[in-house]
Structure 1
Amino acid sequence: MQVMLTYLVYEKQHKLRTMMKMHGLGNGPYWIIYYAYFLILSTVYLVLFVIFGALIGLNFFKTNDYGIQFVFFFSFINLQIVLSFLAATFFSKVNTAQAIAYLYIFGSGLMAGSLIRNFLEGGKFPRHWITVLEIIPAFSLYRGLYELSQYAIRASETGNPGIQWSDLNDHTNGMRDVMIIIIVEWLVLLPVAYYFDYAASVGNSSGLLSIIKRLLRKNPTWRRIAVNEVADNDVHVEMEKLDIIKERETVDQVLQQRNSGYAVVCDDLKKVYHGKDGNPDKYAVRGLSLALPYGECLGILGPNGAGKSSFISMMIGFSKPTSGNAFVQDFSIHTDMENIYNSMGVCPQNDMLWEMLTGREHLQFYGRLKSLSGSALDLAVEESLRSVNLLLGGAADKQVRKYSGGMKRRLSIAISLIGDAKVVYMDEPSTGLDPASRKSLWTAVKQAKQDRAIILTSNLQPMSIPSLALGHSCFPSMVAIKPLVLFGIFAAHSMEEAEVLCDRLCIMVDGRLQCIGRPKELIARYGGYYVLTMTTSSEFEREVEDLALKLLPNARKVYHLSGTQKYELSKQQVRIADVFMAVENLKRRVEVQAWGLADTTMEDVFVKVATGAQSSDELS
Structure 2
Amino acid sequence: MTENNSIPSGGAALELRALRREFGDKVAVDDIDLVVPTGSFYGVVGPNGAGKTTALSMAVGLLRPSSGAAFVLGLDVWSDPVEAKRRLGVLPDGLALPERLTGGELLTYWGRFRGMPADVVAARAAELLRILELEEAESLGTLVGEYSTGMRKKIGLATALLHSPRVLVLDEPYEAVDPVSARVLTRILRRFTETGGSVIISSHVMALVEQLCDHVAIVADGKVIAQGTLDEVRGGRSLDDRFVELVGAPEVGEEELAWIGG
Q: TM-score, with normalisation over the residues of structure 2?
A: 0.83
Paired residue for 1:270?
A: 20
Shift of 1:294: 2.4
How high is the sequence identity, in percent, across the aligned residues? 31
Paired residue for 1:595?
A: none
Which amino acid letter does the alignment assign opposite residue 500 of structure 1? Answer: Q
> What CA distance in whole angstroms lies between the structure 1 residues aligned with 2:188 and 2:199?
12
Shift of 1:511: 0.8
The answer as to whether partners of 2:102 and 2:138 remain within 8 angstroms in 1 is no
Across the two proteins, how many residue pairs are aligned to each other?
A: 244
Paired residue for 2:211?
A: 500
Q: Deviations over 1:279-320 (max 9, x none)?
A: xx1111112112223221211000001100111111222221
Q: Deviations over 1:327-363 (max 9, x none)?
A: 2232223322232222221111112211111001112
Paired residue for 2:244?
A: 607
Q: Deviations over 1:430-469 (max 9, x none)?
A: 22212222222111111122322222101xxxxxxxxxxx
Which structure would you say has the larger RCO, counting Cα contacts within 8 Å and 6 or more residues apart?
A: 2
Alignment of 1:29-48 (within 5 A): none
> What CA distance in whole angstroms lies between the structure 1 residues aligned with 2:208 and 2:127?
22
> What CA distance in whole angstroms lies between the structure 2 residues aligned with 1:416 and 1:407?
14
Shift of 1:369: 4.2
Paired residue for 1:332?
A: 76
Paired residue for 1:182?
A: none
> What CA distance in whole angstroms lies between the structure 2 residues aligned with 1:496 and 1:386?
28
Distance 1:283 1:516, change over 3 A: same
> What CA distance in whole angstroms lies between the structure 1 residues aligned with 2:139 and 2:245?
43
The answer as to whether partners of 1:266 and 1:325 remain within 8 angstroms in 2 is yes
1:286 corresponds to which of 30, 34, 38:
30
Gaps of 5+ in 1: 1-256, 275-280, 459-492, 528-599, 615-620
Distance 1:402 1:316, change over 3 A: same
Paired residue for 2:221?
A: 510
Which amino acid letter does the alignment assign opposite residue 246 of structure 2? Answer: V
1:368 corresponds to which of 101, 112, 117:
112
The answer as to whether partners of 1:387 and 1:444 remain within 8 angstroms in 2 is no
Q: Please identify the structure whose Cα radius of gyration is greater.
A: 1
The answer as to whether partners of 1:387 and 1:441 remain within 8 angstroms in 2 is no
Which structure is higher in helix share?
Answer: 1
Q: Deviations over 1:16-59 (max 9, x none)?
A: xxxxxxxxxxxxxxxxxxxxxxxxxxxxxxxxxxxxxxxxxxxx
SS of residue matched to 2:248: helix
Shift of 1:518: 2.1
Paired residue for 2:201?
A: 456
1:385 corresponds to which of 129, 141, 150:
129
SS of residue matched to 1:377: helix
The answer as to whether partners of 1:347 and 1:425 remain within 8 angstroms in 2 is yes
RMSD, aligned α-carbons: 2.5
Which amino acid letter does the alignment assign opposite residue 151 of structure 2? Answer: M
Shift of 1:258: 10
Shift of 1:411: 0.7
Gaps of 5+ in 2: 251-262
Is 1:320 paired with 2:64? yes
Moved over 6 A (4+): none
Which amino acid letter does the alignment assign opposite residue 301 of structure 1? Answer: V
Paired residue for 1:557?
A: none
Distance 1:360 1:421, change over 3 A: same
Shift of 1:395: 6.1
Q: Deviations over 1:451-504 (max 9, x none)?
A: 22222101xxxxxxxxxxxxxxxxxxxxxxxxxxxxxxxxxx322321233220
Alignment of 1:304-453 (within 5 A): 304-392=48-136, 394=138, 397-449=141-193, 450-453=195-198
SS of residue matched to 1:339: helix
> What CA distance in whole angstroms lies between the structure 1 residues aligned with 2:212 and 2:28?
26
Which amino acid letter does the alignment assign opposite residue 272 of structure 1? Answer: E
> What CA distance in whole angstroms lies between the structure 1 residues aligned with 2:140 and 2:209?
28
Alignment of 1:82-121 (within 5 A): none
Paired residue for 1:193?
A: none
